[in-house]
Structure 1
Amino acid sequence: MKTVYLIADGMGGWPLEELGGKTTMEAAVTPNMDELAKTGIVGRAQTVPEGMPPGSDVANMALLGFDPATYHTGRGPIEAAAQGLELDPDDLVWRLNLVTVSKLNIDGFMRDYSSGHISTDVSRPVVEALQERLGNDTYTFIPGIQYRHLLVQKGGALTDDAKLNVNPPHDITDKPIKLDLRVFSRSPFLWDLIFEAKEILEDRDVNMSIANSIWPWGQGRPLNLPNFKETFGLDGAVISAVDLIKGLGFASGMEVLDVEGATGLLETNYEGKVDAALNYLKDNDFVFVHLEGPDECGHGGDASEKVEAISRFDSRVVAPMREALKDEEVNWIITCDHFTPIAERTHTMDAVPFIINKPGCEASGVSEFSEKTADSTGLKLENGFELLSFALNNAGK
C-alpha cells in the first residue's frame, strides 16, 4: 500500500466576520478533501508539545513521526541539514532572515519578515556580501532561499548566545522590536554584527531590495534524527520548496526531491510537485508533499488569498493525485502542521485537523473537512508525533 501524506502548511484558522463566520478552510472549495473526510477517519492532533513554540520546524518534525521534545534543537539546524553543511557538535546555527524594519532601534517595528518576499537571485548576492565583509573565524553567513538564510556561530553552543530567546520575525509583523533588541544586546558580538550588517544593506551597490536588517533567530546545535526507513520500514521522500522540510528529510535519511519552480508561495509549481510524487511512488512506498502557500497567506493577513491557497491545494494537489492513484490501494493522510489564523498573522498552538483514509478504515461520519468537523468526532491525538504511526498501524483496525 502506498502512503500519501499531504501537508497544507498553516491551513487551519479561526472564524472570520469577513467570511460570514467561517474559517478559511470552511470557505475554501475543497470537494476532494471533503470526499476523503466523508469516508475516512477525521480528528485532531496536537503537533506542538506544551511549552514549545508553534513553529513549522516543531510541527513538521512531529508530522514526520519524531518527537520534537526529544529531537528538536532549533530552526536553524534543520535548514542547515538541507544544505548538507558540515558542522561541529558545538556550533550554533541561526536561521537568518533578511527583514524590513521601520528603524533599527527601540522605537522600531517589524514591517516585513520576508523583505517583500525577496527573490533568491536578489538575496543571495546580499548574503554573499555580508560574508565577504563580516564573515570571520566565529561567524559564517550561508546563503539560502528567498529571505531564508543561515548564520553559523563557531562554538556558539557553549556560550550564553545559545539561550537567547529571539522572536521569529513572522510572529511580530507590525509589532515593536524593542524587546528583541534587548535580547540581542546581551550578546555584544551579535549586536555589533547586526548593526554592521545594517550599514552594508544600506549600500545600494550591494542591496537593491527593501531588506534593511538581518534577523538571527531559531538557533541550536546540529540536528540528529533517527533514520526514517529504520523507524517506519518505508522508503520515503519529501517534496517542498522550503529548506526546513528538506532538512528534516535529509536528517532522517529520506530522499529529497527538488521541483523546479516550487516557490513556497501561492504561485508555485503544483503540477511539478504532483509529478515528482507520482514518479517516486512508482517504485517506493511513502511520500510527504508540503505546500507552504496557505501559511504565507496567513502571515500576510489576506483571507481571500488564504482561501484561494487552500482551494488550489485541493484542486491542484489532492485532486490529480487521487485521479492518478484511483486504481491503487492508498493510505491518505491530509493535514496541516499548525494554524496560521488571519487575525493573528502568526502560528498558534491549536491542535490540527487531519484525515486518514485507507482501505478498511471506519468512517468518522463527517460531511466535510474543517476544523469544526474534526472537533466533532472527539478523536484527538495528544502527541502529534504519533499521527503517522496511528495512520500506518492502527487506523481502521
Structure 2
Amino acid sequence: MIANFILAFFVPLTTARAGRIRENTNILANDIDGIIIDGVKVLFKEATEHRAVLILRGQGLNGNITDSDPKVLNGNTKYKKVYATDDKEESIFTANILNKFLLEANKILKNHEINKDREKRGELPANFILTRGAGIMPNMKKVTEKLNFKASCIAAEGTVLGVARLAGFNAISNIEMTGNIDTDVELKAQKVIDELEDNNFVVVNLKAPDLMGHDGNPEGKVKAIELFDKLIENILKHKSNDTIISVAADHSTPCERREHSGDPVPVLINGPGIRRDRIEKYNEIDCSHGGLGRIKGSEFISILYDYLELTKNKGTR
C-alpha cells in the first residue's frame, strides 16, 4: 500500500507531506522497517519526497481494509483508524496489525534525532504515517514479455518506477529528476531520445502538475505545465520522423480540491499514419470533442500498442 510521512500533533494532523520532506527519509524508513507485530513483518521503504511503500508480510492477511489517510487536513482533522471492509477474519486481523504499526511508528518517529534536528531548523517533522490503497500483489505476467517488446520508463517518482518494473520496463532515473517543480526537463527529454535508440516504447513521467494541484497552487501549476511544454518541445526537436508521440494523464488534480477528481483527462496521439481530427489545442475542453472520443485507460493503451504493431490482427483479410 502507499504511505506518506506526515506531521501530526498527535493526533490532529497539520500536513500530509511533512513539508514535502526530501532529506533522510531513507533513515526514517529504515528505523521503522522490519517491525514484527503479532507475527506479521512490516516492510517500509521510502519513495520520493514524503512518499513510501508499506508491505505487510505474513499469514492470514488481505487487502480489504480502509485508508488511514483522511485526505483533507485542516489542523483539526484526525487520522482515520483502519477498519476491515468486510467481516472476514483476515480483514479484521490486517486492520488491527496496521493500526498497531501506525502507533508504534509514531513512537519511533516523534523522538527521532532527524525530526528533532528538523524542528531546530524550523522545518516540519515527519512523525506519523498515513496509508491508503491497500491490496494484494497479484501474479502477473510482464506486458513486455506478453507482447514481446522492449520498453523504458523515465521518472523520479518511486511508485511510478516500481509499477514500470512490474510491467517489465527498464526504470530510468537521475538525481536531477526531482519529481517536483525543480526537475530537469532537458535531461528527461535527452533520456527519452537516448532510450528510443534501443526500445519500442518509452514512457516519461512529469509529476509536478499533480503536486501543484495537491498544494492548491495555481501559479505553480501554470509553471509545471510550462515545464511540460518545454519537455515536449525538446523531444520534438530530436525525435526521428517515425516516432509516435502520445500525451496523457492518469487523473485530474484541481487546485480547488487539492485532491484527485473523476474529471476526464485529455489524451493525444500524433505520428505518421495516424488519422487527424480538427482539434488544435491540448486541454480538457477541446480534447473532449476529439476523434478518440471518451475512452478508458485500457482502451487507450491498446490503441498505442496497435499503432506500434504489437498486437495481433483479428478477423479476416
1:181 maps to which residue?
A: 81
Q: Which runs of 5+ in 2 are unaligned?
A: 85-91, 119-124, 309-317
Q: Following TM superposition, by how much is the alpha carbon of 1:204 offset from its aligned partner in structure 2, in angstroms?
A: 4.6
Q: Contact 1:129 / 1:206 at 8 angstroms: preserved in 2? A: no
2:30 maps to which residue?
A: 128
For 2:7 and 2:227, locate their aligned partners in 1 and report how far apart those are by CA, in whole Å.
Answer: 29
Secondary structure at the residue paired with 1:180?
coil
Matched, 1:240 2:141: no
For 2:29 and 2:290, locate their aligned partners in 1 and report how far apart those are by CA, in whole Å.
Answer: 49
Q: Contact 2:68 / 2:132 at 8 angstroms: preserved in 1? A: yes
Q: Following TM superposition, by how much is the alpha carbon of 1:155 offset from its aligned partner in structure 2, in angstroms?
A: 2.4
TM-score w.r.t. length of structure 2 = 0.82
2:18 maps to which residue?
A: 115
Secondary structure at the residue paired with 1:376?
coil
1:65 maps to which residue?
A: none
For 1:320 and 1:235, locate their aligned partners in 2 and report how far apart those are by CA, in whole Å.
Answer: 23
For 1:261 and 1:310, locate their aligned partners in 2 and report how far apart those are by CA, in whole Å.
Answer: 18
2:101 maps to which residue?
A: 193
For 1:297 and 1:281, locate their aligned partners in 2 and report how far apart those are by CA, in whole Å.
Answer: 30
Q: Following TM superposition, by how much is the alpha carbon of 1:211 offset from its aligned partner in structure 2, in angstroms?
A: 1.4
Q: Following TM superposition, by how much is the alpha carbon of 1:218 offset from its aligned partner in structure 2, in angstroms?
A: 1.9
> If each structure's helix is expressed as a fraction of its own residues, which one has the higher value?
1
1:348 maps to which residue?
A: 261
Q: Cα gap change, 1:172/1:224 in structure 2, threshold over 3 Å: closer, same or farther?
A: farther
Q: Which runs of 5+ in 1 are unaligned?
A: 1-75, 77-94
Matched, 1:267 2:175: no
Spell out the pairing of 1:316-355 with structure 2 (5 A cutoff). Answer: 317-325=231-239, 327-355=240-268
Q: Contact 2:156 / 2:177 at 8 angstroms: preserved in 1? A: yes
Residue deviations 1:83-115, cap 9 Å, x none? xxxxxxxxxxxx2321123431xxx2x422221
Aligned partner of 1:202: which letter?
K
Alignment equivalent of 1:165, drawn from 53, 66, 69? 66
Q: Cα gap change, 1:265/1:224 in structure 2, threshold over 3 Å: closer, same or farther?
A: farther
Q: Cα gap change, 1:224/1:172 in structure 2, threshold over 3 Å: closer, same or farther?
A: farther
Instruction: Kindly indicate whether structure 1 or structure 2 has the higher relative contact order, using CA contacts under 8 Å at least 6 residues apart.
Output: 1
Residue deviations 1:341-396, cap 9 Å, x none? 1111111112210111111223211231110101123642432211122134269x
Residue deviations 1:11-61, cap 9 Å, x none? xxxxxxxxxxxxxxxxxxxxxxxxxxxxxxxxxxxxxxxxxxxxxxxxxxx
Q: Cα gap change, 1:183/1:367 in structure 2, threshold over 3 Å: closer, same or farther?
A: same
1:100 maps to which residue?
A: 7
Matched, 1:207 2:115: yes
Q: Cα gap change, 1:275/1:166 in structure 2, threshold over 3 Å: closer, same or farther?
A: same
2:143 maps to which residue?
A: 228
The ranges of structure 1 where at least 4 consecutive aligned residues each deviate by more than 6 angstroms after the TM superposition are none
Q: Contact 2:248 / 2:267 at 8 angstroms: preserved in 1? A: yes
Aligned partner of 1:339: which letter?
S
Q: Cα gap change, 1:360/1:204 in structure 2, threshold over 3 Å: closer, same or farther?
A: closer
For 2:269 and 2:170, locate their aligned partners in 1 and report how far apart those are by CA, in whole Å.
Answer: 23
Aligned residues: CA RMSD:
2.5
Secondary structure at the residue paired with 1:372?
helix
For 2:144 and 2:271, locate their aligned partners in 1 and report how far apart those are by CA, in whole Å.
Answer: 21
Q: Cα gap change, 1:167/1:140 in structure 2, threshold over 3 Å: closer, same or farther?
A: closer
Aligned partner of 2:101: which letter?
L
For 1:182 and 1:286, locate their aligned partners in 2 and report how far apart those are by CA, in whole Å.
Answer: 40
For 1:205 and 1:102, locate their aligned partners in 2 and report how far apart those are by CA, in whole Å.
Answer: 17
Q: Following TM superposition, by how much is the alpha carbon of 1:308 offset from its aligned partner in structure 2, in angstroms?
A: 0.5
Matched, 1:375 2:288: yes
Aligned partner of 1:165: which letter?
T
Q: Following TM superposition, by how much is the alpha carbon of 1:238 offset from its aligned partner in structure 2, in angstroms?
A: 0.8
Q: Cα gap change, 1:165/1:250 in structure 2, threshold over 3 Å: closer, same or farther?
A: same
2:46 maps to which residue?
A: 144
Q: Contact 2:7 / 2:16 at 8 angstroms: preserved in 1? A: yes
For 2:274 and 2:191, locate their aligned partners in 1 and report how far apart those are by CA, in whole Å.
Answer: 27
For 1:256 and 1:224, locate their aligned partners in 2 and report how far apart those are by CA, in whole Å.
Answer: 20
Alignment equivalent of 1:357, drawn from 251, 267, 270? 270
TM-score w.r.t. length of structure 1 = 0.67
